[in-house]
Structure 1
Amino acid sequence: PRQRWVDAMASREEDIRALPHPALVLHGREDRVIPLSNSMTLAEWIPNSQLHVFGHCGHWTQIEHKNRFIQQVENFLQEADQEADR
C-alpha cells in the first residue's frame, strides 16, 4: 500500500525535463530513505538545476545541516532573483 502512494507522487520524466525555471536539488549523501541516485537523475533531467550533496548527512538535510542548508537556499534564491532582473 505504501508504494502505491509513493508511485502516485512520481512525475513523468518528460514533465521534469520541461521545467522552465531554475531548480535547487539538495540531498544527504547517507540518506537511507531516498537514494542519492534519484537526486542525481533529477538534477540531470532539469536543464537549469543545481545539485548540492551534504556529506555526513542522512535524509533530513534541513535539520542535520541547518545553517548550510539555509545558506544554499538563500544563495540559490539570490541568484534566481538576479537572473530575473536581467
Structure 2
Amino acid sequence: MARKKLPRRFQVCATLDNLDLARTGSAIKLEITSRGEKLGELHIGRGSLFWWGAHSKTRKRIRWSRFAEILNEMASGEVSARRRPEVGARVSH
C-alpha cells in the first residue's frame, strides 16, 4: 500500500541576481517558509552569510569561519541541533 503523501513542511525559494558570484554585492538569496509562514531570508555571498528573521528589521552577519564552527559543533554532537548557541555568541572550549 502506498504511503499517504504529507504536505511539505518547508519551502525554499531561491533568487540569483547575478550569474557571476565573483562580483561585489552579488549573492544567492533564499526565502525560507514553513507551512506558509516566513521563517526568514538567507543571503549567501562570498564573504559571509546574512540572516533576516521573519519579523526582523535588521540582518545578522555570520562569517564563513563562524558558520563552519557552528556546523562542526552540531555534527560532532557538542551542541544539539535544537539547542544551538546564539549566532553571535562564542562557545568556549
Q: What TM-score comes out, normalization by structure 1 length? A: 0.27
Q: If each structure's helix is expressed as a fraction of its own residues, which one has the higher value? A: 1
Q: Which has the higher strand share?
A: 2
Instruction: Tell me the TM-score normalised to structure 2 length.
Output: 0.26
- Of structures 1 and 2, the larger Rg is shown by 2
Which one has more relative contact order, counting CA pairs under 8 Å at least 6 apart?
1
